[in-house]
Amino acid sequence: MDSLFILNASGAALLEKHWCDDRAIRRASLVVVPAFARYLASVEAAADAEPMWSGPQGTVCIHIQRQELIYLGIVSREVPPLEVLELLEGVVQALGEYVGRLSELTIKENFVTVYQLLSEMVDSGAMVTTDTAVLRGLVPVPNLVNRVLENVSGIGIGPERRPNVNTSATPWRAQGIRHSTNEFYVDIAERIDAIIAASGAVVAYDVNGEISCKSRLTGMPELVLTLNRPEIMDDVVFHPCVRRRAWDAERTIGFVPPDGPFKLASFHVAMETSPRSLPLHVRAQASRSGGTHTVEIAVDPGQCHGRPIEKLGVRVPLPLQAYNIGVQCKTGAHKVTNARPPQVEWTVKSVRPGDRGLRLSIQYHMHGEAAAAGGAPPAEQQGVAAAFVDFEIAGYSAASIKVDALRLLRESYKPFKGVRYVTKAGSFQVRF
Amino acid sequence: MMNAAIQTSLAQLQILKAKALAVLRKGENYELKTELNSEYKERRKEAVRRVIANMTVGKDVSGLFTDVLKNMHTDDLESKKLIYLYLINYAKTKPDLVILAINTFVKDAEDGNPLIRALAIRTMGCLHVQEVLDYLCDPLRRCLADANPYVRKTAVMCVAKVYDLNRAVAEENGFVDAVRAALADSNMMVVANAVSALAEINAMGRGDVWRLDAATAGKLLTAVNECVEWGQIAILEALIDYVPGDEKEAESICERVLPRLQHANGGVVLTTVRLLLKYEAHVRRADLLAQFEKKMVPPLITLLASEPEIQYVALRNINLILQRRPRLLGKEIRAFFCKYNDPIYVKFEKIDVLVRICSERNAEPLLNELKEYAKEVDVDFVRCAVAAIGRLAIRHEAAADKAVAVLVELLQMKVDYAVQAVVAVLGEVLRRYPRRFEGVVATLCEHADYIREPEARAVYAWALGEYSEHIDGALGLLSAAAESLLEEDARVQLALLSAVVKFFLKQPQRGQQLVVRALQCATEKCANPDVRDRAYIYWRLLSADPTAARTVALSEKPPVCPESTNLPDALLAELAAELGCVSSVLQKPARHFVYAHSEKPG
């Protein structure tokens, strides 16, 4: 990678960092970035700008947009773009941890930290690390107390915090960790991605899960985690601490845990698309009589081991020309946001397994339709296209994955162990 | 006169503006200068911060060089880092002044804190100034042998910079050999950086500085499982360029990198896929190849659950892989279904992949899905979906019936832009399967009023002539169309002329009046020379030899062949070798976009 830019939404550079020679630097800031800004302005919606754009003078611009900022990497030779994209993603993550919400203002205020981080993450154009645990050892986290103290007393506390470079055989775990109480928590969080047809038939249904842990254990413990049906997980990605051999041979997860919270594994489960298996069923219908358009959405809880569905939210974006919007629902609360396009949001705090007949009904009229009512063809297709569903079910695993056992080896104490399950909606949408 | 006056005053204004700006800038720099020389440590620190802040937004603060330099000797790590940044920025314009900083650098390279040692050595490399080189050699040699791996890994990267600056110095001092030796370092970070550095050095030279041998390859395979993701990519890249000695070795390398497919970083996953595809040439055991293929699928699918940008890159690469291996993802069509809120660039790629993985077995659900897309609001997306249905119909004969049924259904919905797309596509389908879908033409004619765009109208006109015997009132429709001949696009005019002539040849009595009128209109009033020429040709042909006209106009045309949407083989091979790289995503070879191969980042 030659250069990295952080741009605001209109494509003006807030910060730049280069790993190339003078000529390339000038090319990047004077030619490539302005050209890229023009490209951004030329696409209709900024979100539709292709992440890889072939820039002037043989450069390639690779960018991501997060919140209001654009992170742009410029490369001029053959590299894996995913490496750049993952790095940019890592930059966003790390900066977020250091400075909080990322905006034009926070970037400018914290440019010193941002610069230090970027120099550690990339050395002469090669990616070095994006691991925030490692970075914290190299660049001190700025905090308010620190700042105030420095400014008031004139004494910097920076250099006292010796950076540590862990070089042991288990770089993720330091020697001699002690805790007064030994605890280990496992969270299995699953995310359902689904596309549902209007009839309620399931078009696509996937579960992506994450096993995250929080470790407060003394010494050098070794843990062995056994799951009930490891064979259904089809793309398992582990934290580097997990012993691959044990997993390959007997499908157990053996590891020396890092201290504190960490992500142990992520996995994917392809679900059969029978409607019974979903924790909730949604049907949607859009109709029109005269000038009135009606949208009906019906939600019924499915089988989720008697757990209530919480924080149910249904979001329906209406056509741009919709007006006179009326909403009825017997359960829960609803809200109409007059954004462009207008949206109806329906929220139900909790749905019990026995609850039936949760219905949302929306009526609206359309601008400019009265004239076309004489049977002339509509100039363009109008109507609602999709509804987005959000929910959370605690204590339930959509893929039916359970922790069978969690054993502790190499240390003699008995830790407190806790396991939690939660299933949430990922990208869960219903078509009309 | 006036103009000249305005120009002069404008020019004066410009000069004034420049002067005012210069004063303002000088003002700020002057203030910073005093602050940098302040007796209070905190004020100096703040001043350094402001200098760098100005530098990062492109203001010229090079005038403060000596003042900034005075602050270099500080134990505040943050200030030190900032001043180093400043030096890197201005070293090239003021190399003579940089020498003043050398002493501090050399001292810092021996500091008790490994971070400062590494920082000093990294910065000295980044300065990229010949004058520094003499002073850099000793500290660099020490840092390469430092007890702390963090320092060693930084020093290794520094060697690449020295090599870039002066090859002879790098080689004579044994730095390149030291990097080669670092491949056997006990710390994996150092190993990974050594691989990156050697790759960099190879790219700068003639590529012969370093060649991976079997013993080192073995070591790297151990390292690849233990180092961080970026190191893994560097090592995998090195292994891709390696030519295994025999089949056994190739097999073992493949088996040992297989776990890399299960990595959270998409870059690692795609680079591993590339390695496996590349090594295929060396592996002959079919069971192994099948196993590799099976293992590739789930991680590729998982990439599709990531951020849209990553999805895009993954999809572009999947597209390439599928051109070599059409059956790889046949069972996974659902993963490629479009979400309503996918960015448009992801949707296009998904549709393209869907068409590629279509087979007789999954055609039905796929067509239903494409039908859903064709009903959406986004015009471009709808066109893309309709075109995809057409491509399916043309490619898969067994799916053609269902595809045509879907197209007719869309036509009957009478949505303007969908109708245009559907009619244009139907033309292709009708030409691909002559005489198979005659019934469709009647439906087409029923919707004549909605057909608006030239491309679609040309298809309509063509169908009127080709299938006139299957259309009730074909004469009326043709006459009506011929009536407005002059208002049509040239493409439609040409198609209409042919249609009228065909109709006349099929039914001379009924068509005579029409053909005369149409040809007369075209020859006398039409502005387009091509259309006039065509009309004359028909006219002469018809008047000279009607039998010959018959053989010409009504000849049996060969059906359209299923077009190949694959890239040309040579290009495909070239891109596949760079799978997961920029060229494979842009789908053009590196030499077409890379500005200068020899230009290396410093």
pLDDT digits (tens, 9 = 90+) for B407-441: 999 888 888 888 899 999 998 888 888 888 888 88
Chain B residues touching A193 at Cβ < 8 A: 305
Average pLDDT value for chain B = 84
Q: State percent of chain A over pLDDT 90.
A: 18
Q: Out of A153, A173, A202, pick the residue that ends a domain.
A: A153
Is residue A225 in a domain? Answer: yes
A162 — pLDDT class (breaks 50, 70, 90): very low
Chain B residues touching A320 at Cβ < 8 A: none
Q: Which of A387, A389, A426, A388 is nearest to A311 (CA)?
A: A389
Whether B207 and chain A come into contact, CB under 8 Å, resolves to: no
Cβ-proximal residues to A145 (8 Å cutoff; 6+ apart), any chain:
none
Q: What value does the mean pLDDT take over residues B162-191? A: 88
**Between A and B, how many CB-CB pairs are < 8 A?**
255
One domain, residues A194 and A300: no
Chain A residues touching B335 at Cβ < 8 A: 204, 206
Candidates B149, B582, B593; nearest CB to A165: B149
d(CA A278, nearest CA chain B) in Å: 16
Q: How far is CA A181 from the centre of its chain?
A: 32
One domain, residues A268 and A286: no
Q: Do A244 and B77 touch (CB under 8 A)?
A: no
Q: What value does the mean pLDDT take over residues B79-99? A: 82
d(CA B146, nearest CA chain A) in Å: 13
Is residue A432 in a domain? Answer: no
Is residue A319 in a domain? Answer: yes
Candidates B585, B597, B600; nearest CB to A52: B585
Structural domains in chain A (count): 3
Whether B209 and chain A come into contact, CB under 8 Å, resolves to: no
pLDDT tens digit sequence for A211-225: 999 999 998 899 999
Task: Look up the CATH number of the domain holding residue A221.
Answer: 2.60.40.1170
Instruction: Name the least confident of A133-142, A372-381, A404-413, B279-288.
Output: A372-381
Is residue A175 in a domain? Answer: no
User: Please, are residues B382 and B417 in contact by the beta-carbon 8 Å criterion?
Assistant: yes
Whether B349 and chain A come into contact, CB under 8 Å, resolves to: no
Q: Out of A136, A153, A170, pick the residue that ends a domain.
A: A153
Is residue A201 in a domain? Answer: yes
Whether B193 and chain A come into contact, CB under 8 Å, resolves to: yes
Angle, alpha carbons B101-B102-B103 (nearest 5°): 95
For residues B41 and A96, give the distance between their C-alpha atoms in angstroms, rounded to a whole number: 30
The token duo for B337 is: 């279904």
Q: Do A273 and B49 touch (CB under 8 A)?
A: no
One domain, residues A17 and A59: yes
Residue range(s) defining the domain that contains residue A358: 280-370+382-394
d(CA A354, nearest CA chain B) in Å: 31
Residue B560 pLDDT > 80: no
One domain, residues A213 and A313: no
Residue A56 identity = P
Chain B residues touching A208 at Cβ < 8 A: 302, 305
Is residue A222 in a domain? Answer: yes
For residues A83 and A63, give the distance between their C-alpha atoms in angstroms, rounded to a whole number: 12
One domain, residues A76 and A9: yes
pTM of the model: 0.83
Q: Do B309 and A150 touch (CB under 8 A)?
A: no
One domain, residues A123 and A28: yes
Helix extents (H) in B325-415: 344-357, 363-374, 379-395, 400-412
One domain, residues A403 and A266: yes
Q: What value does the mean pLDDT take over residues B44-57? A: 82
d(CA B23, nearest CA chain A) in Å: 24
Whether B375 and chain A come into contact, CB under 8 Å, resolves to: yes
Q: Do B313 and A380 touch (CB under 8 A)?
A: no
Q: State percent of chain B over pLDDT 90.
A: 10
For residues A320 and A333, give the distance between their C-alpha atoms in angstroms, rounded to a whole number: 23
Q: Which of residues 425-454 of B touch A (CB under 8 A)?
A: 450
Residue A116 pLDDT > 90: no
- The owner of tokens 């055989």 is A169
Q: What value does the mean pLDDT take over residues B31-55? A: 83
Question: Three-state SS for A157?
Answer: coil
For residues B300 and B212, give the distance between their C-alpha atoms in angstroms, rounded to a whole number: 29
Q: Do A167 and B418 touch (CB under 8 A)?
A: no
Task: Look up the CATH number of the domain holding residue A139.
Answer: 3.30.450.60
Whether ipTM > 0.85 holds is no
d(CA A181, nearest CA chain B) in Å: 31
Chain B residues touching A29 at Cβ < 8 A: 58
Is residue A159 in a domain? Answer: no
One domain, residues A108 and A191: no
- B333 to chain A: closest CA residue: A204
Is residue A69 in a domain? Answer: yes
pLDDT tens digit sequence for A367-382: 776 544 444 444 444 6
- Write the Ramachandran bin of B60: left for phi over 0, alpha for psi from -120 to 50, otherwise beta: beta
Residue A157 pLDDT > 80: no
One domain, residues A315 and A343: yes
pLDDT tens digit sequence for B351-385: 999 988 888 888 888 998 999 888 888 888 999 99
d(CA A414, nearest CA chain B) in Å: 30
B29-40 exposure pattern, b = at least 16 Cβ within 10 A, e = fewer: beebbebbeeee
A6 — pLDDT class (breaks 50, 70, 90): very high
One domain, residues A259 and A303: no
For residues B500 and B411, give the distance between their C-alpha atoms in angstroms, rounded to a whole number: 25
Whether B148 and chain A come into contact, CB under 8 Å, resolves to: yes
To test the contact with chain A by mutation, choose from B161, B162, B164, B339 the residue with the greatest count of A C-beta atoms within 10 A, namely: B339
One domain, residues A126 and A99: yes
Residue A225 identity = L
Strand (E) positions, B246-402? none
Supply the pLDDT for residue A187: 93
Candidates A64, A129, A388; nearest CB to B230: A129
Task: Please give the DSSP secondary-structure letter assigned to residue B360.
Answer: T
Chain B residues touching A59 at Cβ < 8 A: 595
Q: Which of residues 150-179 of B touch A (CB under 8 A)?
A: 150, 154, 157, 160-161
Q: Do B578 and A78 touch (CB under 8 A)?
A: yes
Instruction: Name the least confident of A92-96, A106-110, A388-392, A414-418.
Output: A106-110
Q: Do B414 and A24 touch (CB under 8 A)?
A: no
One domain, residues A336 and A417: no
SS3 content of chain A, % helix, strand, coil (to 5): 20, 40, 35
Q: Which of B343, B411, B334 is nearest to B371 (CA)?
A: B411
